[in-house]
Structure 1
Amino acid sequence: MTNTSVLAEIDRRADDLVSLTCDLVAFDTTVRGSAGEPARDEADLQEYLAHRLRAAGATADVFTPAPGSLPVSPQTPAGLGFDGRPQLIARFPGTGGGRSLLFNGHIDVVSAEPMAAWSSDPFRAEVRGGRLYGRGTCDMKGGIAAAVVAAEALAALGVRLPGDLLINTATDEEWNGAGTLASVHHGVRADAAIVPEPTDLDVVTAQRGILGGTVTVAGRPGHAEHPPGDWRAGGAVNAIEKTLPVLAALQRLRERWAADPAHRHPLLPPPSIVPTIIRGGEWWVTYPASCEVALDITYLPVQADEGGWASRVRDDIERTVRAACAADEWLTAHPPRFAWDTELPPAEVGSGHPLAGRLAACATALGRTPRVLGEPSWTDAATLTRYGRTPAVCLGPTATRPDGSPTLHTIDEYIEVSDLVDTAKALALAAVELTGPA
């Protein structure tokens, strides 16, 4: 068996690769927004993949994590269950003596709304002009299809890898990464892992952590068309206006983080704080009694605490806001309240790790010029690296339009068919390369 024969086999399966991606897109696996939200088509998709992988010679375990089986952490909200959202672990056994390799991917997708804005049905993928359009084609059902077809091609050629090749498809990555976390606690582990998230076939070895939360500023209602009076005597206070110094403080902190040499990373953007949702007021002629701002915070590995979490980041934010409020008597007497929710820890596999270089060589063999980069957001590779004792990197299809804007999470999301095929080729070559003798 040669690399040439592997690549030729995947070329032969190109139409099947597109068809498989279309099949996966047709399952509505829109991410849930809360622990109690009912499941959609997650179980059907996992059983579909399990049947296909078993037919190719793999063992496949489709399991539903028990409620409360995950350790309590900032990543796993109280009451989290997986009813109707199973995880899949498939294994192509090696001959022995080699290293194991894991392909991991998430089956959930972000909402396709507003669906009326799409040029075609987002859950009926179609090819137009060499591009496959549909929700999840890029992020990341195309990557999952590429991993499956890569494994099927090797099996069809009779390739017996020295080490095991595993495929883990998980839920909830777009929310809190709980599916891969549950898979790790179920026993998913390998000597190395590749997550075929869209990367333009670059190798991503580092990613920032994410912290989500809200800050709520109190006011006092009153008729907006009358002078508010003295708040000390019961007068009205405009919560929206009192939120302005809080936002200014957060902006200054973001700028301070960006300018701090200690917060520079060779592969990652600086840490950031972005207000993303604001809710305030009760009636258009009433001084607002409260104003709530949702925050999306990204932070670097160096900012994480000993457990990888964002306690230091939270403390820095709250301390900065309290200091900014000290000049305002109302805010001193009624300090803003913080509530922290989603938290995803950062992780990195050093750019000098052999996994990065050997995977880049697989992409180079396809005529690509892969770079070693950082991911400004977050992927399940962090969970595998930090908690699964499995160094994980990302490599997958192109995620940018010619103008540089992203295709993932957008209206008319698409993947280049040629990229889909190249991703499958790179993963197949990586399976041969990385499962060799330990």
Structure 2
Amino acid sequence: MRANESEVEALTRRLVSIPSHDDETAAGDAIESWLREETDAAVQRDDHGNVFARRGRGDESLALVGHHDVVEPDESQLRDGSARDAGGDEAEAEAEYVVDERDGRLYGRGTADMKGSLAAAMVAFRDAQPAAELVFASFVGEEQGGVGARAAISDGFAPDYAVVGEGSTNYAGDDQTDVAVAHRGRRGSTITARGTAAHASEPAAGENAVYRACDAVDVVRDLDAPAATVLGQEVNGSVVVTEIEGGSAWNVIPESATVTVDERTVPGERAPLERVEAVDGVEWTVDQDLPPMACGDAGFADAALAAADAAQDATPEHVTKPHATDAGWLADAGTDCVVVGAAEPGEAHTAGESVALDVLSRCYRIYRGLAERWPAE
């Protein structure tokens, strides 16, 4: 392993060991200090906790983007942090994250999602001879719906192009890191049906909210799932009822009922869920709307694929991802994005979360290669 690629492993270990599911501050501190010590870039920490660095010059900018928060770890991913207080009683100290290496993989919370790819991007940011202004950004709150990315965009963060380091490995084949040119979003919504309560022995005296909710569910069942095509890649969405609740007692006509709908959205298309409001007494509200992503610049997507091809023996492909990332917020704000990262399907958020060390090295080469070739002259 080359020296700079070995640094990716060491930095991954350091970042993964830092707890960042409840508070990302310490992880952000580590990222900021590394960038200040290892690069000559202009480094900034904003009021939200996001970390940025900029180097190189040019009319256009390319950003290497990640996040340093993680989901809550499994107990097996924590090292016992208990201690004794001054009186001899057991006191709870902050537990550390466990980082293990086995069979060429690092195991631990955040290895795949996404401190491994973040470390690869940091070292690539330092080592690249950029063809334009090169930006590094690590956001807080990605796991809470893109809190950090949304705040940064609101504050004016607007790179022309971005590589977001979420997983794209082994999507189109084994032992290859592909380039995602689109991903689905998620719109979560609630259907509320209202009626009039009455005694169940006199159902005609009331208006049954559950019946109205069921009528709305029938509308949802008849909707076509959204679909789109991005740079020749099909992106298929879905729309499904996931929860229903209503009624207060076995002998009371229900006066209210709610239905939860999960829609996986695609670029440019949404299911017409507002149609449920044609049912008497039914209201539809959106609770969460994570935007999908579509790369709008075929040249950039091809350049990313060329960088990925040069970094590995396998032949990578353009692919799509099934779930939302911060690339959706960036794309919605006008940045052309691709997603390239070390995580494989099924690794993120699991008790056995891991990442392959050779794939981290591969991602380093991809990020550095793209930074040095884009934008093309």
TM-score interval, smaller chain: 0.7 to 0.9
Post-superposition Cα deviations, 1:78-113, rounded to whole Å, max 9, x if no partner, equal xxxxxxx4111112x22x45753210112222333x
Q: Give secondary structure in 1 for the equivalent of 2:162.
A: strand
Return closer, same or farther for 1:19/1:357 CA change in 2, 3 Å cut-off: same
Residue among 246, 256, 263 paired with 1:297: 263
Q: Does 1:247 align with 2:217?
A: yes
Q: Residues of 1 paired with 2:375 and 2:228: CA distance?
A: 35
Change (3 A) 1:234 1:381: closer
Q: Residue 27 of structure 1 contacts residue 41 of structure 1 at CA under 8 Å; is this kept in 2? A: no
CA deviation vs aligned residue, 1:191-233 (integer Å, no higher than 9, x gap): 421111101121111233332211123466678xxxx223332
Tell me which of 342, 360, 364 is aligned to 1:420.
360
The one-letter amino acid paired with 1:408 is A
Separation of aligned partners in 1, 2:133 and 2:242: 43
- Structure 1 counterpart of 2:93: none
1:195 aligns with: 164
Structure 1 unpaired stretches of 5+: 1-6, 31-39, 65-84, 304-309, 326-331, 401-405
Task: Please state whether the residue corresponding to 1:269 is helix, strand or coil.
Answer: strand
Counterparts of residues 117-266 of structure 1 (less than 5 Å): 118=76, 123-152=97-126, 154=127, 160-200=129-169, 201-218=177-194, 228-234=200-206, 237=208, 239=210, 243-253=213-223, 256-257=224-225, 263-265=227-229, 266=232
Distance 1:10 1:43, change over 3 A: same
CA gap of 1:217–1:422, structure 2 versus 1, over 3 A, is: same
- In the alignment, which residue of structure 2 is the partner of 1:44? 26
Distance 1:28 1:339, change over 3 A: farther
Task: Pick from 3, 8, 11 the counterpart of residue 2 of structure 2.
Answer: 8
How far apart in 2 are the matches of 1:189 and 1:264?
A: 25
CA distance in 2, matches of 1:296, 1:175: 17
Q: TM-score, normalised by structure 1?
A: 0.71
Deviations 1:378-425 (A, max 9, x none): 2222322331x431111111412xxxxx22233322212221221112
Distance in 2 separating the partners of 1:10 and 1:300: 38
Q: Which amino acid aligns with 2:291?
A: P
> Alignment partner of 2:97: what SS?
coil
Pair 242,128 (structure 1): closer, same or farther in 2 beyond 3 Å: farther
1:386 and 2:332 aligned: yes
Counterpart contact for 1:99–1:162, Cα < 8 Å: no
Structure number with higher helix proportion: 1
Work out the CA distance in 2 between the residues paired with 1:123 and 1:214: 37
Number of the residue aligned with 2:348: 408
Question: Does structure 1 conserve the Cα–Cα contact (< 8 Å) formed by 2:183 and 2:235?
Answer: no
Answer yes or no: is 1:27 the counterpart of 2:1. Answer: no
With over 3 angstroms needed to count, the CA separation of the structure-2 counterparts of 1:125 and 1:276, relative to structure 1, is farther
Return the offset for 1:146: 1.2
Give the one of 42, 46, 53 matched to 1:63: 46
State the alpha-carbon separation in 1 of the partners of residues 218 and 350 from structure 2: 30
Percent identity, please.
Answer: 29
Count the aligned residue pairs: 350
Deviation string for 1:342-378 (max 9, x for gaps)?
223333224x612111211122122132111222322
Cα separation, 1, equivalents of 2:18 and 2:250: 43
Q: Give, in whole Å, the separation in 1 of the partners of 2:244 and 2:257.
A: 7
Task: Tell me the CA shift for residue 62 of structure 1.
Answer: 0.3
Moved more, 277-286 or 18-27: 277-286
For residues 342 and 53 of structure 1, what CA distance do their matches in structure 2 show?
A: 34
The equivalent of 2:298 in structure 1 is 353
Instruction: Please report how far the alpha carbon of residue 336 of structure 1 lies from its aligned counterpart in structure 2 after TM superposition.
Output: 2.4
Match of 1:257, SS? Answer: coil
- The residue correspondences of 1:321-400 to structure 2 (distance < 5 A) are 321-323=276-278, 325=279, 332=280, 335-350=281-296, 353-365=298-310, 366-387=312-333, 389-400=334-345
Q: Distance in 2 between matches of 1:284 and 1:10?
A: 67
8 A Cα contact 1:268 1:376, kept in partner: no
Q: What RMSD, in angstroms, separates the aligned Cα atoms of the two structures?
A: 2.9
Q: Which secondary structure state, in structure 1, belongs to the residue aligned with residue 225 of structure 2?
A: helix
Aligned 1:79-90 pairs, distance under 5 A: 85-90=48-53
Closer/same/farther in 2, CA of residues 52 and 435 from structure 1, 3 Å limit: farther
Structure-1 separation of matches of 2:166 and 2:100: 20
User: What is the SS of the residue equivalent to 2:2?
Assistant: helix
Return the letter of the residue paired with 2:222: R
Q: Which of the pair is proportionally richer in strand? A: 2
Give the drift of 1:257.
3.4
